[in-house]
Amino acid sequence: MVGKMKLSKSSIGLIIVSFIFYLYATNSFSIFQRDSALEIVDFSIENSSVDTDIPSNPYRNPYYGDLHVHTKYSFDAYIFGVTATPYDAYRFATGEVIKHPLGFDMKLKEPLDFYAVTDHGFYMGMIENYADTSSKMSKNEWTKPIHNINRPENVTVESTGERADLFSSVLSREIINKPYPWWHPNYLGAWLTNNIQLALTSFDYDVHKSAWADVAKAAEEFNDPGNFTTFIGYEYTTSTEVEGGNLHRNVIFNSSNAPIRPWTRIDSLNPEDLWTWMDNLRGKGVDSLAMPHNSNGSNGQMFEVETFRGNPINKEYSEKRMRNEPVVEMTQVKGTSDTHPLLSPDDEWADFEIMDKRVGSRPPTYSMPQGGYVRDAFLRGLTLEWEGRGNPYKFGLIGSSDTHTGAGAFDENNYWSKVGVLDGTDMGRGSVPLSQDRIDQLTQYSIDFNQPLSTKEIEGKTYADVGFDQWGASGLAVAWAEENTRDSIFQAFKRKETFATTGTRIAVRFFAGFDMESIDLNSEDMIKNAYAKGVTMGADLFSQANQTPQFLVWAQRDKLGAPLQRVQIIKGWVETASGTPKEKIYDVACSDGLVADPVTNRCPDNGARVNINDCSISNDVGAGELKTTWADPDFDPAVKAFYYVRVLENPTCRWSTWDALKAGVKPRPDLHETIQERAWSSPIWYIPDSSDLEIIPL
Amino acid sequence: MRLRIIVFFLIGLLIFILDVAFSSEQDSKDIYISDQELTSLLSAWQSQVGRPPNDEEIVNIINNFVQEEILYREALLLNLDEEDRIIKRRLAQKITFLKQETVPEDPSQEELKEFFEQNKGNYYVPETYSFSHHYYSKESSAKEIATKAFKDYQINGGELKGDPFFLGKNFYQNTANEIKKNFGELFFSSIKNLPVNEWSGPHESTFGYHIILLKEVKAGFSPPLEKVLIKVQQDYLSEAQDKAIAKYINEIRSQYRVVINPDYKF
């Protein structure tokens, strides 16, 4: 036998491996692979509506809304006893009454203009499915602790410990994230459709898809152009791999078209991958934006000076981030992230609703303020840009609630916090001393679940100590838009023509230009002229022959809230010589005809006081509206800077004081008795004239 | 004659005793798995895993089913199903779904029309107001200034000159809710009674005083059925489902008697 070649086993293996490598190298796998997260579904429903023309205002109206709302489809909300649907949530936003899990009514003082249900994307709808003992999933042994958890007789404050523990065990992956063995066919399915979730035994794709479709359907059903706007959306609930740095973001879509499933932390923990996905969707005609929140509880990770993988930030990263994340949610129930007393020691209003714990940490762990607050982030952005790496932190500002009951609690006097059964009572929130049986429950909880002591003694009384005392009745997102339609409001977010409030309906206009002082503040054409002669919040003001910029501010009070006390402009810049970030706060308008001191830049006391015994406020002081023009007295034409407005109301009782008043006890002495509700505009950035400056349109 | 009756009675008694003594316990220990049950078990497994089960897996599936059935029956023998609220609720839920499904799929045109007529209020398009106003900010002694300005205007004509209002001067086709949102209840209560095309004032709001020209009140109206057909269909269906359950419960309820201890302290 001559010339008969015989291939050995090892050479056949080598040929197969080379062939696979060739396919991989030439990217030929994409023929087999299909990205399920890029499948677009048209969720639109045929909405019959009566033809009325939608009025449009070229000078724009302020529309108030909430873009951060959880319902029963969120893994944690269901554990917190919430059974409200997305439909219930939208009903609440339009002014109807819905029920809190503990049985009381929740109703808005005034309906909202827009609302978006944003349930956690990962495991959306799954926990409800585990709890339903007729489902396939519930046959798994590990779902047992969740079975029928929200049966009516278990939705009580007594179930708090059980629920808190379930919440942690879901987060720590004891309950979910159980993969099939490697040889299982679902592994191939997961790979072929680029959908890792399919390889998890704890996951049922059909349940997940139908929950997401229901969220989308509710949004479509309630979207009513001209009257009420909704967005299809969800929360991308990611975090750093170590130390639990919260990197949560909400994603909303500007269309009835949306992907077949939300792209979640199971796909990737890296927010840059989220932006890639959003860029890809944009290529398919589906526009979206992402809004980070609770930077305060991120342990400084939200506004880091390096990327998720620890690489230095570069221009490409900055552009990609700003293309996808034009606005940041800077105030919500879990605290306000304007600035921290340690970061802004000269800001007398910095100590406002500070939540200094990492989000979801148990036991509660301190969150580093540096890199966690928006003013600091604006400064970091300037520094990065000064180093030639682009500005990834040039975002506008909004607030929202992050409620997990479907219903946002914006009112100090009518507050239910946000995590259902856990903080639905005054005792649970830590504002009123605990009864003996609640003390016993919390003690037992600490023993059962190996937790630190969950009560604290203050002046001889025992209070719950689980962190809810640092939460607050906040906030709202406000968009300056031509009309109340989905596209008009979405475009306002993209322009950053937005402001944030702590739940109050303050309204604020803010313009900058070089000829603002010539505008007659008493003329009907004031706003028309301001738009013509300058730029508004969220925009860049380019240097004009080194002239000093002039600003125009106009704030109006909430007609159902307290009168205004003062309007401030907060300036931040980086000193050119040293690269040191600086900030300064100017009171630019004072109520009651008062004038700010030219040395301290502070308004004198207007005399507004709160009577702690009944929470009544002084009625004869404060302003209905404040308006002024202002030129920066410390202006340096060569230095890049940002300016944003903070409007302060007269002081009013904090929710914890209202709780104590209603319970007939003394307010807890270590909490702020009063707060000043406020609004913040998006900044205007001053860009100096510079030959080597490269302008990146964002 | 009497004897015959006694004989029949004794025979009957004998049959009864035999029946109690031998039969009852026995057949309850059989587990009969029907063909349909087997098919549905296997196809449920297949839809979950994506392929038909092999022999070993089939044995497991059947064993699991048998085990569940045995535990279930033993639990029934111990009467564990009684007074279990989860089981009660599950059964109540099942019958509710059953009764909901008895609603006919597509209501006829007449039914829809009747429903629409009865619930016209839900589809009413509310009235709107178009108006202009001159605003006098609360900062100054607004009421006097506004009153004087308006008097001057009425006597001498010319133009009224107020402060700019935050949301502008002219408002086109605003509903009652929009006016309340922008100006407050007080302002709305004055505007709704104004004559059309006639300046009047000053009227108070939270923000100051207003001299108002109401230009047009567009009456509210009930749109024709075609315009709101889909919403009417949705509402009809959900009401029909609620009704079906309520009707069912009402029919049955009369057969039940509810007894509560009158001395119980709530």
Q: Are residues A410 and A539 in the same domain?
A: no
- Using a CB–CB cutoff of 8 Å, tell me whether A291 touches chain B: no
How far is residue A491 CA from its own chain's centroid?
18
| Total domain count, chain A | 2
Q: Are residues A278 and A412 in the same domain?
A: yes
CB within 8 Å of chain B, chain A residues 496-525: 507, 509, 521-524
Count of H-run helices and E-run strands, chain A: 15, 31
- Using a CB–CB cutoff of 8 Å, tell me whether A24 touches chain B: no
Q: How far is A431 from chain B (nearest CA, A)?
A: 29
Whole-angstrom CA distances from A495 to A377, A399, A682, A686, B139 are: 19, 16, 10, 16, 33
CB atoms within 10 A of CB A92: 25
Structure-model confidence comparison of residues A140 and A394, the more confident one: A394
Residue where a domain stops, chosen among A446, A470, A494: A470
CB atoms within 10 A of CB A27: 9
Per this entry, what is the length of chain B?
266
- The ipTM estimated for the assembled molecules is 0.75
Whether residue B181 and residue A185 make contact (CB cut-off 8 A), yes or no, is no
* Token couple for A483: 């009309």
Residue where a domain stops, chosen among A417, A445, A470: A470
Whether residue A554 and residue B166 make contact (CB cut-off 8 A), yes or no, is yes
- The dihedrals phi and psi of B86, each to the nearest 5 degrees, come to -65, -45
How much is the average pLDDT of A644-649? 98
Count of H-run helices and E-run strands, chain B: 10, 4
Whole-angstrom CA distances from A231 to A34, A50, A74, A209, A302 are: 27, 21, 17, 18, 24
Sorted by sequence, the CB contacts under 8 Å of residue A565 that are 6+ apart come out as A590, A591, A603, A606, A608, A622, A623, A648, A649, A650, A651, A676
- Can you say whether the dihedral through the CA atoms of A613, A619, A620, A621 is positive or negative? positive
CB-defined contacts A:B, below 8 A? 75
Whether residue B166 and residue A556 make contact (CB cut-off 8 A), yes or no, is yes
Are A236 and A251 spatial neighbours (Cβ–Cβ below 8 Å)?
Answer: yes
Q: How far apart are CA A456 and CA A460, in angstroms?
A: 10
Nearest to A52 by CA among B170, B225, B127: B127
Of the candidates A55, A560, A624, the beta carbon closest to that of B208 is on A624
- H/E run at residue A501: strand A498-501
Residue A406 has pLDDT above 50, yes or no: yes
Structure-model confidence comparison of residues B163 and A243, the more confident one: B163
Of the candidates A148, A526, A559, the beta carbon closest to that of B184 is on A559
A333 is a domain residue:
yes
Whether residue A55 and residue B172 make contact (CB cut-off 8 A), yes or no, is yes
Q: List chain A residues with CB under 8 Å of B168.
A: 57, 59, 527
pLDDT band at A77 (very low <50, low <70, confident <90, very high): very high
Are A312 and A296 spatial neighbours (Cβ–Cβ below 8 Å)?
Answer: no
Of the candidates B44, B138, B230, the beta carbon closest to that of A624 is on B138
Q: How far is A80 from chain B (nearest CA, A)?
A: 20
Whole-angstrom CA distances from A128 to A69, A209, A211, A425, A455 are: 17, 14, 10, 24, 31
- The dihedrals phi and psi of A246, each to the nearest 5 degrees, come to -70, 125
Q: Is residue A252 helix, strand or coil? A: strand
Are A263 and A194 spatial neighbours (Cβ–Cβ below 8 Å)?
Answer: no
Beta partners for A114?
Answer: A65, A229
CB atoms within 10 A of CB A282: 13
pLDDT, tens digit only, all 266 positions of chain B: 678 888 888 888 888 888 777 665 555 678 888 888 888 888 878 877 777 888 888 888 888 888 888 888 888 888 888 877 778 877 887 887 777 666 666 788 888 899 999 888 888 888 999 999 999 887 667 888 888 888 888 888 777 888 889 998 889 888 998 899 999 999 999 998 899 998 988 999 989 899 999 999 999 888 888 888 888 887 888 888 888 888 888 888 888 888 888 888 87
Lowest-confidence pick of A201-215, A436-450, A613-627, A670-684: A436-450
Most confident stretch, A333-347, A438-452, B12-26, B91-105: A333-347
Q: Which residues of B touch A (CB under 8 A)?
A: 44, 48-51, 85-86, 89-90, 125, 137-139, 163-164, 166-169, 172-173, 177, 181, 183-184, 205-208, 223, 227-231
Q: Are residues A420 and A537 in the same domain?
A: no
Mean pLDDT, chain A, whole residue set: 91
A15 is a domain residue:
no
Of the candidates B139, B177, B231, the beta carbon closest to that of A48 is on B231
Q: How far apart are CA A164 and CA A171, in angstroms?
A: 11
Give the pairing type, strands A114-120 and A232-236: parallel
Residue of chain A minimizing CA distance to B184: A559
Q: Is residue A147 helix, strand or coil? A: coil
Q: How far apart are CA A135 and CA A331, in angstroms?
A: 39
Q: Are residues A266 and A370 in the same domain?
A: yes
Residue where a domain stops, chosen among A442, A470, A498: A470
How much is the average pLDDT of A314-334? 97
pLDDT band at A73 (very low <50, low <70, confident <90, very high): very high
A692 is a domain residue:
no
Beta partners for A586?
Answer: A569
How much is the average pLDDT of A353-358? 95
Whether residue A48 and residue B229 make contact (CB cut-off 8 A), yes or no, is yes
Instruction: Calculate Rg over the CA atoms of chain B.
Output: 38
pLDDT in tens, B5-19: 888 888 888 888 887
Give per-residue burial for A147-165: e unless 16+ CB within 10 Å, then b: eebbeeeebebebbbbbbb
How far is residue A224 CA from its own chain's centroid?
24
A42 is a domain residue:
no
Cis-peptide, bond into residue A475, ω within 30° of zero: yes
Residue of chain B minimizing CA distance to A509: B166
- H/E run at residue A630: strand A625-631
Report the pLDDT value the prediction gives residue A133, as an integer from 0 to 100.
Answer: 84
Whole domain around residue A241: which residue ranges?
A: 61-172+204-430+466-470
* Token couple for A138: 């519930």
Instruction: Calculate Rg over the CA atoms of chain A.
Output: 27
Residue of chain A minimizing CA distance to B165: A524
Report the pLDDT value the prediction gives residue B27, as an integer from 0 to 100.
Answer: 52
Q: How far is A510 from chain B (nearest CA, A)?
A: 12
CB atoms within 10 A of CB B254: 7
Give the pairing type, strands A641-649 and A684-687: antiparallel
Whether residue A527 and residue B168 make contact (CB cut-off 8 A), yes or no, is yes
Lowest-confidence pick of A336-345, A446-455, A560-569: A446-455
Q: How far apart are CA A48 and CA A664, in angstroms?
A: 51
Q: How far apart are CA A471 and CA A336, in angstroms?
A: 9
pLDDT band at A13 (very low <50, low <70, confident <90, very high): confident
Are A325 and A289 spatial neighbours (Cβ–Cβ below 8 Å)?
Answer: yes
Q: Which residue has the tokens 């009369």?
A: B254
Nearest to A264 by CA among A126, A441, A369, A169: A126
A194 is a domain residue:
no
Q: How far apart are CA A264 and CA A251, in angstroms?
A: 11
Residue A696 has pLDDT above 60, yes or no: no
Q: Are residues A510 and A596 in the same domain?
A: yes
Q: List chain A residues with CB under 8 Å of B183.
A: 559
Report the pLDDT value the prediction gives residue B23, as an integer from 0 to 100.
Answer: 60
Sorted by sequence, the CB contacts under 8 Å of residue A54 that are 6+ apart come out as A225, A226, A483, A484, A485
CB atoms within 10 A of CB B194: 18
Report the pLDDT value the prediction gives residue A155, as an integer from 0 to 100.
Answer: 82
Nearest to A407 by CA among A86, A79, A31: A86
Amino acid at A520: D
Q: List chain A residues with CB under 8 Å of B85.
A: 151, 153
Under DSSP, the state recorded for A469 is G
Are A249 and A324 spatial neighbours (Cβ–Cβ below 8 Å)?
Answer: no
Structure-model confidence comparison of residues A384 and A172, the more confident one: A384
pLDDT in tens, A168-197: 777 666 666 678 888 888 888 888 888 988
- H/E run at residue A610: strand A610-611
Q: How far apart are CA B244 and CA B143, in angstroms?
A: 60
Sorted by sequence, the CB contacts under 8 Å of residue A270 that are 6+ apart come out as A238, A308, A309
- Using a CB–CB cutoff of 8 Å, tell me whether A183 touches chain B: no
CA angle, residues A532, A536, A538, in degrees to nearest 5: 150
How much is the average pLDDT of A289-307? 96
Q: Is residue A527 helix, strand or coil? A: helix
* Token couple for A607: 């005399």
Beta partners for A192?
Answer: none
Residue of chain A minimizing CA distance to B48: A136
Half-sphere exposure of A344 (CA within 13 A, CB side): 24
Are A146 and A68 spatial neighbours (Cβ–Cβ below 8 Å)?
Answer: no
Residue A75 has pLDDT above 50, yes or no: yes
